[in-house]
């Protein structure tokens, strides 16, 4: 490949809070690419299932390569190519957990190997601060796209922040990465994550036991 030739591949970053359909779109992207006779690799990190897979809350799931801090994307892809594999694209889920160095490697794969890279991840952590991997993706991606599906805060407003909640109160101290369940039942007291609007994140208010969505958010009377 001529080093001076323009590349047609792109580094794309699809981002949104929990429950916005990122993993669903990652799986759909892989399916669509394969349907058009393109071959690729799937990557993930710390999936909610605890396995090396990309899983969606609506029930879809595919095996993927686990990304830990030691994984070198460039070396992995070059090794596969020199062994005769064909790689047209990468789908990278839970990209917020990747290191900035790994994001640099993904950008190099796009620029020098002309391979499309589709990344999916949360932008900010439970303190509303950027994950290092997400920050680097925003800095390097050809396009950053916000997910169109918008989850709602318990008050009915648009949910934008992934809050860590314990006993109904927002937790703002602790390790940046802590795997915990999302709230399955209203008013759950165990440590979990909720999507909150900025107002209720600032007030430190998780979902009350008796909270219901505002009637304006319902599509019926």
Per DSSP bridges, beta strands 169-171 and 61-63 are: unpaired
Alpha carbon distance 93, 60 (integer Å)? 14
Alpha carbon distance 110, 92 (integer Å)? 13
Please enumerate in sequence order all residues whose Cβ is within 8 A of that of 187, keeping only pairs 6 or more positions apart, or say none.
168, 207, 208, 209, 210, 211
| CA dist 25 → 115, 120, 168, 204 (Å) | 19, 8, 31, 31
Please enumerate in sequence order all residues whose Cβ is within 8 A of that of 185, keeping only pairs 6 or more positions apart, or say none.
none
Q: Which residues are catalytic?
A: 94
What do you get for the CA distance between the two ends of the chain, in Å?
A: 61
**What single string gives the DSSP state of each residue in 121-163?**
E-SB-TTS-B-HHHHHHHHH-SEEEE-S---B-TTSSBP-EEE
């Amino acid at each position: 490949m001529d080093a001076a030739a323009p590349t047609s591949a792109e580094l794309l970053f699809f981002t949104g809070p929990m429950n916005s359909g990122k993993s669903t779109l990652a799986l759909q992207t892989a399916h669509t690419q394969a349907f058009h006779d393109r071959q690729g690799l799937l990557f993930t990190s710390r999936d909610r299932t605890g396995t090396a897979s990309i899983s969606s809350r609506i029930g879809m799931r595919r095996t993927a390569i686990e990304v830990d801090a030691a994984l070198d994307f460039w070396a992995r892809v070059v090794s596969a190519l020199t062994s005769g594999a064909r790689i047209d694209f990468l789908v990278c889920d839970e990209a917020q957990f990747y290191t900035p160095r790994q994001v640099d490697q993904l950008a190099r794969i796009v620029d020098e190997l002309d391979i499309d890279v589709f990344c999916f991840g949360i932008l900010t952590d439970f303190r509303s601060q950027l994950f290092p991997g997400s920050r680097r993706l925003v800095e390097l991606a050809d396009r950053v796209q916000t997910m169109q599906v918008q989850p709602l805060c318990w008050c009915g407003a648009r949910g934008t922040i992934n809050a860590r909640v314990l006993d109904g109160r927002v937790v703002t101290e602790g390790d940046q990465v802590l795997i915990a369940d999302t709230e399955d039942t209203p008013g759950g007291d165990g440590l979990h994550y909720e999507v909150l609007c900025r107002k209720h994140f600032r007030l430190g208010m998780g979902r009350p036991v008796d909270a219901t969505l505002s009637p304006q958010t319902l599509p019926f009377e």
